């Protein structure tokens, strides 16, 4: 896909450099990288995610200059950042809102990959690296949420580290090893801060591998037909740099709306109460981006089974390339699968809704009874797993896909906007 | 090349039997060395000496009125000392063991006083839900004992799990009576 490099160093200095460290060549090859010309806006989230990571690292390093990782000072130091540090309000809000925006973008990116079959051969490794990035992102977000040392920070950390306590035999020891004590305490806060600082750089390294793998196989595209002829692709710059920049602008408008008008809307009010190990908040919920997994965790009334189910919900993504038996990548040409996919998206939202609800409350009221969040969460969990381990494997074998265009170029010639035929001026007689 | 007196690596004929032994030995020594370096890197995350030193506390239980509960921080987690009412004790003792997910009699969950007799009015337990470590709310839930607001576990008046996702009864910490009204936890 990448093809031989077309970079020609200009001038003696550039030639000298090119034979020693061909970094300019690498940049030039990135810019001229042949990219399918039919990419739609769902393909702009890669660039948006790169921006998100940069925002988090820059604001995070700055927050680290003012934050104090000690149980007696952490909460107050975050309040000091918000009130007293010059532009601290901006840095803290950008970091907190930025985390939500990061997850928003990564979910869009993942749903795109699911719909257009971007995980299929030859992009399995690309997809798996993406899953790893998502996993490290989740860990980073969880560790970071502990740092402000509010009630949700403390109790969230208690519940999540409790997962490790469910491991048979070694569970309690493992949990106390992670905490550095009998319960979440100063030792825990310190190490969480250290790891929260480390993991973003792991994400950056994995992103490097992700882009490397992408540049070996080339981008997938909305019709899922591999690039075949020269007219199927366009150089990355200026066509897709400009498209990405437009998408980034729209994304930043949404980001700015939350940042400047609703900086706390995505957080939880209880986190403005300092952590109290003697009092659990009446209703513990994770951040919105973990809610679907929280609902899966609570879908079974057994501790270990709940954790295994939740881990399974992520693990199943790693093996997805081998679960989906259909050779057709894009769901545009899979008339049945696309409906199952839309229901999958809906159930993901329902899972999120169930994760936010109290298990015994009614999600849907029918007369005196109804369907509780617990029951609805179970139904949605069932669909979540069925989609991956029943529907996709079977559907690939029995579904008749719609006929696909021969190439990207052909698809555009057949269905795209055609230039209007030139008007032939007939001289008046 | 031979004419200049040097042998290229590709032309070396290996004595595989001898090499295998050397590889195994070197590999094993290397693995032991690596493990001895990695172990401190892993073990440093465990409980530090000062954390371990904060192991035990004394609690004056005489100050707790009937029907009240004292919450004390022990090893970073709350300990509940409840002065139970006669009705609560009766309720705890009347339960059919077959109905319990984690069977234990009320007496199993108590420690004898200085005179060797149980004091059923004082129930001492770690106030940490055995599910994911939240602090249960007292005098709540379907069994009049404790209710964990996090994921809906119900405990009875003896702190035994009755309903919900928690796998075990509330833990009873190691404790002893120093006198009629003072206990030492830990």
pLDDT digits (tens, 9 = 90+) for A300-317: 878 889 899 999 999 999
Annotated catalytic residue within A244, A268, A326, A380:
A244
> Which A residues, 294 through 333, put their C-beta within 8 Å of a C-beta on chain B?
298, 300-304, 306
Same domain membership, residue A356 and residue A256: no
On whether residue A21 sits in a domain, the answer given is no
Question: Which domains are present in chain B?
Answer: 2-43 (no CATH), 51-185 (2.102.10.10)
Residues A355, A377 contacting (CB under 8 angstroms): yes
Tell me what pLDDT residue A429 has: 59
Phi then psi for residue B106, to 5 deg, are -60, -35
Q: Which residues of A touch B47 (CB under 8 A)?
A: 176, 180-182
B77: enclosing H helix or E strand? strand B77-83
CATH number at residue A85: 1.20.810.10
Determine whether the interchain pair B133/A281 forms a contact, defined as Cβ–Cβ distance below 8 Å: no
On whether residue A12 sits in a domain, the answer given is no
Instruction: Give the integer Cα–Cα distance in Å for A263 and A248.
Output: 20
Same domain membership, residue A347 and residue A261: no
Rounded to the nearest angstrom, the minimum Cα separation between A205 and chain B is: 23
In order of A146, A213, B19, B177, the CA distances from B15 in angstroms are: 58, 41, 6, 73
Q: Which residues of B touch A172 (CB under 8 A)?
A: none
Instruction: Give the integer Cα–Cα distance in Å for A145 and A267.
Output: 10
Q: Does B150 touch chain A (CB under 8 A)?
A: yes
List helix spans (H) across A166-185. 171-179
Same domain membership, residue A317 and residue A181: no
Phi then psi for residue B93, to 5 deg, are -85, -20
Tell me what pLDDT residue B164 has: 84
Instruction: Give the integer Cα–Cα distance in Å for B183 and B186.
Output: 10
Phi/psi zone of residue A402: left (φ > 0), alpha (ψ -120 to 50 degrees), beta?
beta
Verify whether residue A287 is a known catalytic residue: yes
Annotated catalytic residue within A215, A237, A274, A303:
A215
Determine whether the interchain pair A280/B149 forms a contact, defined as Cβ–Cβ distance below 8 Å: yes
Same domain membership, residue A134 and residue A37: yes
Q: Residue B73: which of A158, A184, A278 has the nearest Cβ?
A: A278
Collect the ranges in chain A with pLDDT lower than 70. 1-3, 416-429
Q: Which residue of A has its CA nearest to B55?
A: A182
Residue B79's nearest CA partner among B35, B121, B17, B124 is B124
Determine whether the interchain pair A159/B134 forms a contact, defined as Cβ–Cβ distance below 8 Å: yes
Determine whether the interchain pair B51/A187 forms a contact, defined as Cβ–Cβ distance below 8 Å: yes
Phi then psi for residue A336, to 5 deg, are -90, -45
In order of A135, B80, B132, B170, B181, the CA distances from B124 in angstroms are: 40, 6, 20, 10, 13
As given in the structure block, the two tokens for residue A422 are 């030139």
On whether residue A426 sits in a domain, the answer given is no
On whether residue A197 sits in a domain, the answer given is yes
Same domain membership, residue A121 and residue A167: yes
Q: Residue B164: which of A177, A301, A358 has the nearest Cβ?
A: A301
Structural domain boundaries, residue A293: 285-399
Same domain membership, residue A244 and residue A354: no
Q: Per-residue pLDDT tens for B3-52? A: 677 888 888 777 777 778 888 999 999 999 999 999 999 999 998 888 88
Phi then psi for residue A34, to 5 deg, are -70, 120
Same domain membership, residue A310 and residue A268: no
Determine whether the interchain pair A163/B132 forms a contact, defined as Cβ–Cβ distance below 8 Å: yes
Residues A249, A41 contacting (CB under 8 angstroms): no
Same domain membership, residue A339 and residue A247: no
End-to-end CA distance of chain A: 56
Instruction: Give the integer Cα–Cα distance in Å for A344 and A395.
Output: 14
Same domain membership, residue A151 and residue A270: yes
Residues A2, A218 contacting (CB under 8 angstroms): yes
Same domain membership, residue A157 and residue A44: yes
Same domain membership, residue A307 and residue A260: no
- Interface with chain B: mutation pick from A151, A173, A181, highest number of B CBs within 10 Å: A181
CATH number at residue A356: 1.10.287
Rounded to the nearest angstrom, the minimum Cα separation between A359 and chain B is: 7
Q: Residue B51: which of A158, A181, A278 has the nearest Cβ?
A: A181
Residues A213, A122 contacting (CB under 8 angstroms): no
What is the b/e burial string over A385-406, where b = at least 16 CB atoms within 10 angstroms of the residue's CB?
A: bebbeebbeebbeebebeebbe
Phi/psi zone of residue B75: left (φ > 0), alpha (ψ -120 to 50 degrees), beta?
left
ipTM of the complex: 0.73
Verify whether residue A215 is a known catalytic residue: yes
Determine whether the interchain pair A302/B165 forms a contact, defined as Cβ–Cβ distance below 8 Å: yes
Tell me what pLDDT residue B76 has: 82
Q: Residue A359: which of B77, B131, B151 has the nearest Cβ?
A: B151
List helix spans (H) across A220-290. 236-261
On whether residue A115 sits in a domain, the answer given is yes
Q: Which residues of B touch A166 (CB under 8 A)?
A: 167
B182: enclosing H helix or E strand? strand B182-185
Count of domains observed in chain A: 2
Determine whether the interchain pair A180/B48 forms a contact, defined as Cβ–Cβ distance below 8 Å: yes
- Interface with chain B: mutation pick from A303, A304, A308, A309, highest number of B CBs within 10 Å: A303
Residues 6 or more apart from A187 whose CB is under 8 A from it?
A179, A180, A181, B48, B51
Tell me what pLDDT residue A360 has: 77
Active site positions of B, annotated = 151
Same domain membership, residue A328 and residue A266: no
Rounded to the nearest angstrom, the minimum Cα separation between A307 and chain B is: 11
In order of A76, B6, B7, B67, B97, the CA distances from B3 in angstroms are: 78, 8, 10, 101, 92
Q: Per-residue pLDDT tens for B53-108? A: 777 888 898 888 888 999 988 888 899 999 999 888 988 888 888 888 888 888 88
Residue A46's nearest CA partner among A215, A321, A330, A244 is A244
Tell me what pLDDT residue A423 has: 66
Annotated catalytic residue within A77, A153, A219, A326:
A219
Q: Does B132 touch chain A (CB under 8 A)?
A: yes
How many Cβ atoms sit within 10 Å of the Cβ of residue B65? 8
Tell me what pLDDT residue A319 has: 97
Q: Which residues of A touch B166 (CB under 8 A)?
A: 303
Determine whether the interchain pair A159/B164 forms a contact, defined as Cβ–Cβ distance below 8 Å: no
Determine whether the interchain pair B46/A177 forms a contact, defined as Cβ–Cβ distance below 8 Å: yes
On whether residue A8 sits in a domain, the answer given is no
Does B111 have pLDDT greater than 90? no
Instruction: Give the integer Cα–Cα distance in Å for A246 and A250.
Output: 6
Tell me what pLDDT residue A1 has: 45
Beta strand B182-185 pairing with B57-60: antiparallel
């Amino acid at each position: 896909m990448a093809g031989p490099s077309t970079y020609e160093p200009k001038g003696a200095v550039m030639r000298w450099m090119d034979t020693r460290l061909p970094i300019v060549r690498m940049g030039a090859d990135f810019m001229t990288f042949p990219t399918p010309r039919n990419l739609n806006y769902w393909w702009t989230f890669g660039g948006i995610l790169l921006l998100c990571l940069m925002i988090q690292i820059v604001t995070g390093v700055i927050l680290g200059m003012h934050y104090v990782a000690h149980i007696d000072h952490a909460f107050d130091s975050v309040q000091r950042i918000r009130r007293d540090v010059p532009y601290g309000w901006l840095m803290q809000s950008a970091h907190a809102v930025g985390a939500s925006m990061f997850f928003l973008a990564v979910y869009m990116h993942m749903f795109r990959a699911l719909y257009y079959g971007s995980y299929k051969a030859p992009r399995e490794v690309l997809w798996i690296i993406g899953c790893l990035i998502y996993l490290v992102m989740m860990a980073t977000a969880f560790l970071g949420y502990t740092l402000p040392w509010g009630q949700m920070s403390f109790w969230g950390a208690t519940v999540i580290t409790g997962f490790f306590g469910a491991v048979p035999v070694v569970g309690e020891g493992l949990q106390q090893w992670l905490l550095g004590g009998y319960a979440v305490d100063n030792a825990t806060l310190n190490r969480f801060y250290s790891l929260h600082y480390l993991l973003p750089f792991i994400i950056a390294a994995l992103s490097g591998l992700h882009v490397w793998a992408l540049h070996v196989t080339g981008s997938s595209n909305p019709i899922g037909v591999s690039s075949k002829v020269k007219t199927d692709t366009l150089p990355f710059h200026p066509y897709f740099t400009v498209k990405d920049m437009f998408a980034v602008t729209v994304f930043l408008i949404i980001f700015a709306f939350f940042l400047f008008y609703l900086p706390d809307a995505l957080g939880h009010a209880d986190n403005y109460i300092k952590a109290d190990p003697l009092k659990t908040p009446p209703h513990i919920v994770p951040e919105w981006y973990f809610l679907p997994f929280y609902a899966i965790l609570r879908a079974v009334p057994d501790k270990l089974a709940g954790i295994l189910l939740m881990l399974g919900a992520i693990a199943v993504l790693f093996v997805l390339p081998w679960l989906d038996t259909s050779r057709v990548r894009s769901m545009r040409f899979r008339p049945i699968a696309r409906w199952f996919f839309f229901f999958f998206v809906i159930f993901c939202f329902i899972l999120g809704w169930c994760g936010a609800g109290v298990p015994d409350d009614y999600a849907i009221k029918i007369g005196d009874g109804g369907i509780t969040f617990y029951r609805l969460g179970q139904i949605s969990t069932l669909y979540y797993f069925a989609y991956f381990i029943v529907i996709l494997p079977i559907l690939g074998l029995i579904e008749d896909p719609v006929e696909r265009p021969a190439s990207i170029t052909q698809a555009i010639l057949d269905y795209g906007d055609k230039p209007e035929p030139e008007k032939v001026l007939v001289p008046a007689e | 090349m031979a004419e200049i007196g040097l042998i290229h690596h590709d032309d070396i004929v290996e004595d595989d039997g001898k090499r295998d032994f050397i590889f195994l030995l070197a590999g094993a020594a290397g693995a032991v060395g690596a493990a001895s370096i990695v172990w401190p890197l892993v073990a440093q995350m465990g409980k530090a000496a000062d954390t371990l030193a904060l192991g035990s506390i004394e609690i004056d239980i005489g100050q707790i009125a009937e029907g009240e509960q004292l919450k004390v921080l022990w090893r970073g987690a709350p300990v509940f000392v409840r002065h139970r009412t006669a009705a609560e004790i009766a309720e705890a003792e009347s339960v059919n063991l077959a109905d319990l997910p984690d069977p234990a009699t009320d007496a199993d969950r108590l420690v004898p006083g200085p005179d060797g007799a149980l004091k059923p009015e004082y129930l001492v337990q770690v106030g940490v839900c055995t599910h994911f470590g939240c602090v249960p709310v007292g005098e709540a839930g379907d069994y009049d004992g404790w209710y964990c607001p996090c994921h809906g576990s119900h405990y009875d008046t003896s702190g035994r799990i009755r309903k919900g996702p928690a796998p075990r009864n509330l833990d009873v910490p190691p404790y002893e009576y120093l006198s009629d009204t003072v206990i030492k936890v830990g």
